[in-house]
Amino acid sequence: MNKNFFSATIIIATLFCFVPEAKSQIGAYNTTVGIRGGTSVGGSVKRFVTDHDAIELMVYTRWKGWVGNLLFEHHMDIREFEGLEWYIGGGGHYGIWKVGKSEPPWVYKATEDYAAFGVDAIVGLDYNINRSNWYISLDWKPSYNFQDFTGLWWDETAFTLRYSF
């Protein structure tokens, strides 16, 4: 079902890119809402607090549990490519895995609820699609957990499709 939802969202987003009423200026948005897909699947809300600084909230599922991130990101233009920016930042996360509903990879058999919290770094690219209200991002977000049993999660990568308003 997640694949069908993701495919439908991509198709609708592509159609909206060609609607003249949806056109906007590059970089003229304050808030975006999007869906993430990669090593995890979930959603994202990003709000710019200055011209180049943003706060992003991510909520996603991974290993059949739930993780939430709050990140600060600094965006910088890539002058050679119109509509393309790169960003770097950091923040924190908190995740929950419930017995009977998930088995995180750091345990042999889940016999209790697990929680993980820690710090995150993020680096990525953000592209405005055809000068529209649609943006696509690719990011890498390594995390370090303060619990002994989880340690470093270095493999978190995702594409995010966002709509700005």
Q: What is the mean pLDDT of residues 113-133?
A: 92
pLDDT of 48 over the 60 cut: yes
Residue 24's pLDDT is 38
End-to-end CA distance of the chain: 27
Q: Please choose, from the candidates 145, 148, 143, the residue with its C-alpha nearest in 3D space to the C-alpha of residue 40.
A: 143
Residue 163 reports pLDDT greater than 80 = yes
pLDDT at 151: 78
Q: Is the pLDDT of residue 43 over 90?
A: yes
Region 3-29 average pLDDT: 47
Domain spanning 2-164, CATH architecture: Beta Barrel (2.40)
pLDDT at 5 over 70: no
Please list, residue by residue across 92-108, b when 16 or more beta carbons sit within 10 angstroms of its beta carbon and e when fewer do. Answer: ebebebeeeebbbeeee
Q: What is the mean pLDDT of residues 63-73?
A: 93
Mean pLDDT of 127-147: 92
Which residue, chain included where needed, has tokens 């908190």?
A: 94
Of residues 65 and 44, more confidence is placed in 44
Most confident of 85-94, 106-115, 150-159: 85-94
